[in-house]
Structure 1
Amino acid sequence: MGLKSAYYLVSLAAIWGASFLFMRIGAPSLGGAWLIEGRVGFGAVFLFLVMAFLKKRIHFRENGKHYAIIGLLSAALPFLCYGYAAQYLSASLMSVVNALTPIFGTAISALYFRKALEANKVFGLLLGLIGVAVIVGFDPEIVKENNLLAVFVVMCAPICYGIVSVYTQKAKKVDPITNSYGSMLMATLFIAPLLFFIPPNSAEDINWIVVASVIALGVICTGVAFLIFYKLVDDIGMPSTLTVTFLIPIFGVFWGVIFLDETVGWHTLIGTVLVIIGTMKVTGFTLKTVVKPTS
């Protein structure tokens, strides 16, 4: 991996790590539905402008069903899970749970394709779950009302990502930018009806910081992040790009401490290490994965 690709990888981790910070800022006043509709909506607008600039077409008649599946499983449902959880949980905890994505992806793939998991992958899966249990079990804030439910809800997000990862293994290939826009457009349409039934938590508390956070979530953490992600896939390949998973919790915890004054206890540090090691075991990550040149 060259220096430029390493820079993009770290930048992507910093951006996706910041998404938990922005959700934590916006969720208390907006609530999950309005927050996430803003995220996917602004993301869709940004990607539409990119599509227009590059003169790409969406081909909705051919790919509409595909966009709907991707939009539901990779954006609408997992983002709503994070939006709900952000009302109760710290940015640090949510970013660590997000690192379980490869673990759930591997487990769901093995079930779907009926392939037995190797012992080291089973060990990694258990290690990741133990890591989350350590963070949650020793956090006094979790026992408060609704917080334990929020933990179970937030863990549904990486499960959704795991399901969609299996789907993409068999789905037809679509241009990455077009795929990103189509999925964000469908996610926006899926979430929109909820706004008629779920009002913002506290409209009077919505200020410029909340609005700026939602715009940043959509434009930077969704639109720009997808462009960087697919740029990395083209440059260094998918295995090396997915090492971003190990970096996101580091930035998620860092942004939470710096901007939200979140406390990082020993249980958070130990749990994060267990989750990252478990993910490395499941994915078979080694340093050769990063430095291996792509052809």
Structure 2
Amino acid sequence: MSSTTLVRPVSPSLAVTWQTPLELGLLGAIWGASFMFMRVAAKDFGAMPLVELRLALGALVLMPFLWRARASFPLKLWPRLALIGAINSAVPFALFAWAAQRAPAGIGAICNSMAVLFTALVAFLFYGERIGSRRAVALFAGFAGVVVLASGKTAGASIGWAVAAGTTAAFLYGIGGNMVKRNLTGLPAGAVAAATLLCSAVLMLPFAAASWPEHSIPLRSWLCAGALGVLCTGVAYAIFYRLIQRIGAARASTVTYVVPLFAVTWAFLLLDEPLTVPMVIAGTLILGSVALSQKQPA
């Protein structure tokens, strides 16, 4: 997941304000489940084929948005969409799927939370935006959480490489979010999501075909892959951009706080994965740092 600012929020009427907390909670539950689905399906599909299914199904769900706005997407824009799609979808999804083969579902979700901090860091390093002392402290706390997480072990095995993959994916989300904000502002957000997912699916296709598993894939993994693409990518992106339109990107990004909680809960209840002390410490540091970075100055 990554947050972008493409449209101005509109003021909600009193009649629909209840929808915002409901949709934020629903979105957190869906994106939290995505790490569980990856954990189940990645071991049977492999990272590249699973990501290809996810991208293609997500693009298919969102295709009506792109079709409706097709006049706003001239041919010259598509190379830029392909680049942003690779940075903001294809490569991060592959990294998270690779990590899911090697670490519990909660690990990827906790690393994913760093995307908010990385978005601020990339804006500071490459676009000259002020970072401020509050966000600087938040970044240090977040990185400390990553170090704690990487030092942990699950069932006696080190998860450092999985943490590195998840953190790299979050950093790419930070780059992609800034690129979307500066290159695609003014375009319909749902259509942008559909276009970047479509480009990513095309880019990923040769890698998926080359590594497609020769063994039969259990129905459980097929169902998880389908849910990952349709629900956790297509439907979730539609909900997310609906939230951005209603309440703005900053408030919509607060869903980041609850995704790891749902991811750990789903994995504990349905996969019997443990919640370790390093995960608790790292999650507290990272989510606390994200909350600190989002807090408005007095």
Same fold, judged at TM 0.5 (above): yes
Post-superposition shift, 1:197? 2.9
Matched letter for residue 23 of structure 1: M
TM-score when normalising by structure 2: 0.88
TM-score by length of 1: 0.89
Q: Which residue does 1:291 correspond to in 2?
A: none
Following superposition of structure 1 onto structure 2, how do residues 58-77 of structure 1 map, counting pairs within 5 Å?
A: 59-77=73-91
SS of the residue corresponding to residue 199 of structure 1 reads coil
Cα offset for 1:70? Answer: 2.4
Task: After TM superposition, give the deviation of residue 49 of structure 1 in Å.
Answer: 4.7
2:45 equivalent among 30, 38, 45: 30
CA 197–220 in structure 1, closer or farther in 2 if over 3 Å, else same:
same
Q: Secondary structure at the match of 1:203?
A: coil
Does the aligned pair in 2 maintain the 1:32–1:84 contact within 8 Å?
yes
Q: Are 2:142 and 2:290, in contact at CA under 8 Å, matched by a contact in 1? A: yes
- CA shift for structure 1 position 21: 0.6
- CA drift at 1:61: 1.1
Tell me, yes or no, if structure 1 residue 153 matches structure 2 residue 165.
yes
AA of the residue aligned to 2:46: G
Aligned residue pairs, count: 281
1:39 aligns with 2:39: no
The answer on whether the counterparts of 2:138 and 2:292 sit within 8 Å (CA) in structure 1 is yes
Residue 136 of structure 1: CA displacement?
Answer: 2.9
Give the superposition deviation at 1:56.
Answer: 4.0
Distance 1:130 1:73 in 2: 25
1:279 match = 290
1: CA distance, partners of 2:238 / 2:208: 28
**RMSD, aligned α-carbons:** 2.0
Kept in 2, the 8 Å contact 1:98–1:158? The answer is: yes
1:174-224 alpha-carbon deviations (Å, 9 max, x no partner) = 111211111111010110011243232x723x1111111111111111110
- Describe the superposition over 1:116-137 as per-residue Cα deviations: whole angstroms up to 9, x where unpaired: 5322211111111112222332
Question: In 1, distance between residues paired with 2:270 and 2:108?
Answer: 16
Equivalence for 2:277? 266
Matched-pair contact (CA < 8 Å) for 1:30–1:203: no
Query: Residues of 1 paired with 2:142 and 2:168: CA distance?
Result: 15
Instruction: Tell me the CA shift for residue 139 of structure 1.
Output: 2.5
Give 1:240's aligned residue: 251
In structure 2, the CA distance between the partners of 1:213 and 1:285, relative to structure 1 (3 Å rule), is: farther
